[in-house]
Amino acid sequence: MTLFYDTTEEILTNRLLGRAKTSGREDDNIESILKRFRTYKEETMPVIEYYQSQNKIIKVDFDILITTPSVVSVIHRLIVLVQSSRSLHLLSKSYEGS
């Protein structure tokens, strides 16, 4: 199983532009960010979609995680998500075998 942290391009853009203010990275600009998004969609998403079709991806809504007040709460949410996904995966496997 693989955790896939999903969020919007708007949130990622705001985070990267915010990071640019303190990181000193020259590639944290809107042109580079948009290019990264295109590359991600073209090269990474097909891999994620393949593993998702194999039921090997656990999708995590990153937007919910970043509004969670503490690290412990985030870890707890992830544990619950992984456990419930594993249960569903095991359940679907048992139906496939019947």
Model confidence band, residue 91 (pLDDT cutoffs 50, 70, 90)? very low
Q: Could you list the residue range(s) of the whole structural domain that residue 18 is in?
A: 2-96
- Residue 60 is classified by DSSP as E
d(CA 57, CA 20): 31
For residue range 28-85, what is the model confidence (pLDDT) as tens digits? 899 999 999 999 999 999 999 999 999 888 888 887 766 766 777 877 878 888 888 7
Domain of residue 86, CATH code: 3.40.50.300
d(CA 86, CA 31): 39
Has this prediction a pTM greater than 0.85? Answer: no
Residue 5 has pLDDT above 80, yes or no: yes
Mark out the alpha helices in 1-98 (DSSP H runs).
9-23, 30-39, 45-53, 62-66, 71-96
Residue 27 has pLDDT above 90, yes or no: no
Structure token digits, residue 77: 């949410």
The total domain count for the chain is 1
> What is residue 63's predicted lDDT score, i.e. its pLDDT?
76
